Amino acid sequence: MKLFDVYPLYDVTPVSAKGIVVTDDKGQEYLDFYGGHAVISIGHTHPHYINRIKDQLDKIGFYSNAVQNPLQVELATKLGKLSQCVDYNLFLCNSGAEANENALKLASFQTGKSRIIAFKNSFHGRTSAAVAATDNEKINAPLNKQQKVTFLPFDDSTAFENEVKKGDVCAVIIETIQGVGGLDEPSAAFYQKIAAISKENEVILIADEVQSGFGRSGKFFAFQHHNIQPDIITIAKGMGNGFPVAGVLIHEKIEASYGLLGTTFGGNHLACAATLAVLEVMEKEHLMANAHHLGEYFLNKAKEIPQVKRTKGKGLMLGLEFDFEVAELRKKLINEHHLFTGGAKDKHVLRILPALNITKADMDVFFDKLKMALS
Ligand code: PMP
């Protein structure tokens, strides 16, 4: 059997990693400013993370959701406290797409309606409704295109209100900082306006924090920069630091009857241990504050590079926009300068998503490498 040819692959085979350094099978070290696509939040092989998972594995790795799992309760409590989202119920699942799928389904159940509003250049995953709400024709099959979705630009609140007034909208789903799209953000005024319009018209506001959440933006959730309180919040990626785990934070006002939400592996003991370890490290090492400060440092340093047309993003969810397409630059950064970075749907944007515990010295090395690659 061969592997399904899903991704264009760089010729790098990582075999070990520590912090933000990834080592390949030839012993070559790479600096990871991509975090495996915003997944590595506390650095690779963090000792506390390893110990927490190993200890859990020695006790019990999995049992079904038909019995009590105190780790899920501990996780919900800790997550509520650290994110300051206490009035929510937590449902644990396995991927960002699955979290969004459940969020959209809940919104439709709650309202009895089915049209979704999403935004231009959105990315919400590759499953049924999640991919329908993703602004990419090429990855939507006829099945997905049956879902009614309206894509709107950021910052046109009149268009938003007109769509909502049609009366058939169940949910608006929004990335506070677009990841795959290329780091675009709604203005705070627009975000607050759509939250207000949604509330007035009983449309469920879903914040997709799969990429921007878990401290990456410098606050626990990126919407917290804008004084918003969504009805549903979806999380994944950095939550498990590489362990497949995701979640849906559902405001208490939204009902979910027994059996509506469920998945065999969701919230298993190992997933809970991994997520708890991430939260413990985030708290102990003040990673949200570090993400904030290092983000500012990055944005200032980027201004010194003449080829950078524009900087984008917040905290450690960052983008550098160039006049040229960045595919060749990314290749050069990997092959010649041993630096992992990300791309975006906007081909002019280089995406930077390092672990939240990087240092100024790491950033300085990043900029040295970038300058060399650009010269
Ligand atoms: N939402 C956002 C904002 C994402 O960036 C992604 C992944 N790139 C997803 C959802 C889908 O997550 P997953 O790949 O875990 O299904």
* Span from the CA of 343 to the centroid of ligand 1 (angstroms): 15
* Span from the CA of 26 to the centroid of ligand 1 (angstroms): 31
Torsion angles phi and psi, residue 244, rounded to 5? -70, 105
Instruction: Indicate the DSSP class of residue 19.
Output: B
For the CA of 125, the closest atom of ligand 1 is: 11
Give the residue whose CA is nearest to atom 7 of ligand 1: 125
- 286-374 has which CATH code? 3.90.1150.10
Ligand 1 neighbours (beta carbon < 6 A): 95-97, 100, 123-125, 175, 179-180, 208, 210-211, 236
Is 47-284 a CATH 3.40.50.1000 domain? no
d(CA 149, CA 338): 41
For the CA of 98, the closest atom of ligand 1 is: 16
Residue range 218-272, pLDDT digits in tens: 999 999 999 999 999 999 999 999 999 999 999 999 988 878 999 999 999 999 9
* Span from the CA of 178 to the centroid of ligand 1 (angstroms): 11
For the CA of 178, the closest atom of ligand 1 is: 3
d(CA 320, CA 343): 10
For the CA of 236, the closest atom of ligand 1 is: 15
* Span from the CA of 109 to the centroid of ligand 1 (angstroms): 23
d(CA 375, CA 372): 5
What does the pLDDT read at residue 165? 98
Residue pLDDT tens, the chain, 375 long: 988 888 777 899 999 999 999 999 999 999 999 999 999 999 999 999 999 999 999 999 999 999 999 999 999 999 999 999 999 999 999 999 999 999 999 999 999 999 999 999 999 999 999 999 999 999 999 999 999 999 999 999 999 999 999 999 999 999 999 999 999 999 999 999 999 999 999 999 999 999 999 999 999 999 999 999 999 999 999 999 999 999 999 999 998 887 899 999 999 999 999 999 999 999 999 999 999 999 999 999 999 999 999 999 999 999 999 999 999 999 999 999 999 999 999 999 999 999 999 999 999 999 999 999 999
Mutation pick for ligand 1 pocket among 123, 173, 175, 265 (CB with most ligand atoms within 8 Å): 123
* Span from the CA of 235 to the centroid of ligand 1 (angstroms): 9
Q: Across the beta sheet with 310-314, what order do the strands follow?
A: 310-314, 317-321, 349-352
For the chain, list the strands marked E by DSSP.
14-18, 21-24, 29-32, 88-93, 115-119, 149-152, 169-174, 204-208, 232-235, 246-251, 310-314, 317-321, 339-340, 349-352
* Span from the CA of 5 to the centroid of ligand 1 (angstroms): 20
Domain ranges for the chain: 47-284, 286-374
* Span from the CA of 173 to the centroid of ligand 1 (angstroms): 13
Mutation pick for ligand 1 pocket among 211, 241, 317 (CB with most ligand atoms within 8 Å): 211
State pTM to two decimals.
0.98
Give the residue whose CA is nearest to atom 1 of ligand 1: 124
For 34-165, list the strands marked E by DSSP.
88-93, 115-119, 149-152
For the CA of 237, the closest atom of ligand 1 is: 15
